[in-house]
Every structure is written in C-alpha cells, then in structure tokens.
C-alpha cells in the first residue's frame, strides 16, 4: 500500500506514534509518505526508507494566523495525485482530520478518486483542545466523516463517545513500541549503585504535574539515597525547579532538557515516575517498560491498560505523594522485586505493544477500509 502519514513534528506522543508506526509499516513492505511542517525527530537518520513532504505555510499580512489547515490539505491533494496514494492516516484530530477531509473532497473533484482518510485520536485533541467551543463541532464532524477512526486506548474511546455525538465505530489500537530500540541493557549486573535514579520524561505541561514528582522525591529521600532526573522541557520547568528549591532537594534534581537518545537514558535509570493527571496511553511509560524499568504512576486515563498494578510496577491515586513515595522506596530498596517487575514490564510490552504487532493491526484496518464499499465521489 501507498500510505500518507500526517503528524506534528514535536517531541510528543502523536508524532512519536506516527513515526514508529510508519517505520513498522515500512518493515512490512509498504510505501510511507510523511507530511509535516518539520521533520519528526524520530525519523532523523532514516531518510532512505521513507518519503517526507514538507508543508510550507506562507505568511501573509492579511492573515493573523498562518492557514496551516489549508496548506496541509493542498499538499496532501498534490502528493496523493502524484504518487497515487491509497489512503491518508492522520494523527491528532486538530486540524489534521479536517485537512484530510478537505483533501478527500479535492481528490474526488480533480481525480475522481475516493481517497480514504483514517483518523487516530491521541488524547488532548479530544479531552482538552477538541472540547473547546471553537473546535468542538468541526472535531465531531471530522470524526464522523472519516473512513475509519482509531483511539489509542479504551479510556480515550470512552471519553470520545461521552463528549461527542459519534455515529460510527471507533477501533482501539494501542501505540507501537520499538523493542529493538527500547530494551534492557545487555547483561546488566544487579544495580547496587547509590544514589538510585528516578526518571521523569515530560513536556512540562500542567497536565504532567511535574511538581508532584519533586514532592515524591522529597518523601523518598528520607528512606534511601535517590535523585530525580527530568528529561524534556516545557512551560512548567521553572515550577519544578521552584518546588525543588522550596523543599530543599534542588541538589538531588537534574534537568537534562530534551535529548535525542532517550533509550540510553532509560537504560541508565532505575525507575520511571509518572505524575500526569491524565494520560490517554502513556508513551514514556511503555518505552520505560520495554527498557526493563519498573514504573510508579498515577492511576489515571489509559495508564492501567498499559501497566498492571503490582506486576510491572505500582499505580497510586492521583496526588497521593506518600503512597507513591512508599512504592518508589519499596521497589528501589528490594533488588529481587526490582528485577522481577522490570522483567515482567519487558514481557508485557513484547506481548501486547510491539511495533510489528501494532503495524499488523493497522494494516488489517487499512485493508478493510480499502476493501469496503466505496461511497464514491459526490
């Protein structure tokens, strides 16, 4: 199949998912065309395997905001015609799904071809941005007008059905994890070093509750030598530093910023701590599990679909700092438990979230859409 893949290029869940899915589909022999206004960071160094189509959004004084939606729709239409694409798979409903539908209409008008549009919902495009009154109606229309819609968890599917009037099926397909990249350190000995390293991977947005991670560190340090390493950057970075200074733990907190080799950082850590108040899936959690790391996370959103409490780590109530700290201390002070949870975390990812398994599920969905009854061009 010839597949268009639309995503944001930024370091975030939807862009990572689109990149990893595209690579998995290429491994299965499909031709993948990526569309974005910049190269998605997970595609760097792999240019020979895919086609990348830059979306240029010209600035013009009459426009207060650049018309990205229209520029993307035009680029999709042009490339779909030039390369005879079978379908367009858009990640994140706003505005990609709408751009895809515009491209579908233009393909009908100019080429008399029923270009199929697959929309994948990722989370904030539904429960945050998409719920804004300015976008709600167009998001609902785009979902109902797509040829197929997927959500990255059952939790997100339920939220979508609750918030919007949806008159079509939503398929749940989890996010793909490349277990050849994210894996435990080979032949790693029992880690008895001190201090232990807690890792938090974040875009530092308010939903990530980075200050909570610092509070967990403050409680855990009373029981064992431990430090907290933040990977990523964003608006609440200063809040995390301020909280650490107020609690007197700034010397135990490291801000590494955005890094390219996150898989290496995961292999160097002892535990992943997630303090998000909501996650539709939890990409960093799954990648940590693939790397053999136990996880302590809040029991919110789709996270319980990824990690089973007590088997690959611990789930605690949101804002329960004491319970989270106890879980961190229990895991990091018990090498046997730490090793067991890490091993089971890796096994769960291999069995349920491996890239090739997820690529096959999408491949089957694509084929069912292409084999289905065409509505034709109107």
Q: Which CATH number is 196-352 given?
A: 3.40.50.2000
Residue 374 pLDDT = 53
* Mean pLDDT on 167-174: 96
- Which region among 74-88, 185-199, 279-293, 314-328 has the lowest average model confidence (pLDDT)? 185-199
- Which region among 30-39, 63-72, 228-237, 277-286 has the lowest average model confidence (pLDDT)? 63-72
Residue 142 pLDDT = 94
Residue 60 pLDDT = 84
Confidence class for position 376, pLDDT limits 50, 70, 90: low
* Mean pLDDT on 133-155: 93
Residue 127 pLDDT = 76
Q: Which CATH number is 2-176+355-371 given?
A: 3.40.50.2000
Query: Which residue do the tokens 């277990």 mark?
Result: 179
Output the six-digit token pair for 185.
Answer: 């350190």
Confidence class for position 366, pLDDT limits 50, 70, 90: very high
Greatest mean pLDDT among 63-77, 105-119, 314-328 lies in 314-328
- The rounded distance, in Å, linking the Cα atoms of 101 and 116 is 9
Q: Where are the domains of the chain?
A: 2-176+355-371, 196-352
- Which region among 47-61, 67-81, 263-277, 326-340 has the lowest average model confidence (pLDDT)? 47-61
Residue 186 pLDDT = 83
How many beta carbons lie within 10 A of that of residue 167, not counting itself? 8
Instruction: Tell me the chain's radius of gyration from C-alpha atoms.
Output: 22
Residue 49 pLDDT = 84
Least Cα distance to 354 among 12, 23, 14, 15 occurs for 23
Q: What is the dihedral of CA 302, 40, 48, 119, to 10 degrees?
A: 50
Going by the DSSP 8-state scheme, the letter that residue 147 receives in this structure is: S
Confidence class for position 271, pLDDT limits 50, 70, 90: very high
Residue 191 pLDDT = 60
Q: Collapsing DSSP states into helix, strand and coil, what is residue 205? A: coil
- Structural element, H or E, at residue 230: strand 226-231
How many beta carbons lie within 10 A of that of residue 44, not counting itself? 10
Helices then strands, counting H and E runs in the chain, come out as 14, 13
């Amino acid at each position: 199949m010839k597949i268009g893949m639309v995503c944001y290029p930024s370091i975030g869940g939807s862009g990572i998912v689109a990149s990893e899915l595209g690579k998995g589909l290429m491994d299965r022999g499909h031709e993948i065309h990526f569309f974005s206004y910049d190269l998605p960071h997970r595609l760097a160094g792999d240019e020979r395997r895919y086609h990348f189509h830059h979306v240029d959004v010209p600035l013009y004084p009459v426009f207060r905001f650049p018309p990205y939606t229209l520029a993307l729709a035009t680029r999709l239409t042009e490339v779909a015609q030039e390369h005879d694409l079978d379908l367009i798979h858009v990640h994140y409903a706003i505005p990609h799904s709408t751009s895809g539908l515009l491209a579908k209409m233009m393909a009908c008008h100019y080429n008399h071809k029923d270009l199929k549009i697959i929309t994948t919902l990722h989370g904030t495009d539904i429960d945050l941005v998409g719920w804004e009154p300015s976008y709600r109606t167009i998001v609902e229309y785009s979902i109902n007008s797509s040829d197929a819609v997927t959500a990255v968890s059952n939790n997100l599917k339920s939220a979508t059905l609750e918030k919007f009037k949806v008159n079509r099926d939503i398929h749940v397909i989890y996010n793909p994890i490349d277990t050849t990249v994210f894996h435990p350190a080979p032949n790693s000995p029992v880690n008895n070093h001190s201090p232990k390293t807690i890792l938090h991977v974040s875009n530092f947005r308010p939903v990530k509750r980075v200050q909570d991670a610092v509070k967990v560190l403050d409680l855990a340090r009373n029981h064992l030598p431990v430090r907290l390493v933040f990977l990523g950057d964003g608006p609440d970075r200063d809040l995390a530093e301020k909280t650490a200074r107020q609690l007197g733990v700034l010397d135990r907190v490291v801000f590494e910023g955005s890094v390219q080799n996150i898989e290496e950082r995961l292999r160097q850590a002892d535990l992943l701590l997630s303090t998000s108040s909501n996650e539709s899936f939890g990409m960093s959690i799954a990648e940590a599990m693939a790397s053999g790391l136990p996880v302590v996370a809040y029991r919110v959103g789709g996270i319980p679909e990824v990690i089973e409490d007590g088997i690959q780590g611990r789930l605690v109530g949101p804002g329960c700092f004491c319970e989270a700290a106890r879980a961190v201390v229990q895991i990091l002070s018990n090498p046997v438990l730490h090793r067991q949870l890490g091993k089971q975390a890796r096994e769960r990812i291999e069995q349920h979230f491996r890239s090739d398994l997820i690529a096959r599920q999408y491949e089957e969905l694509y084929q069912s859409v292409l084999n289905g009854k065409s509505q034709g061009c109107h």
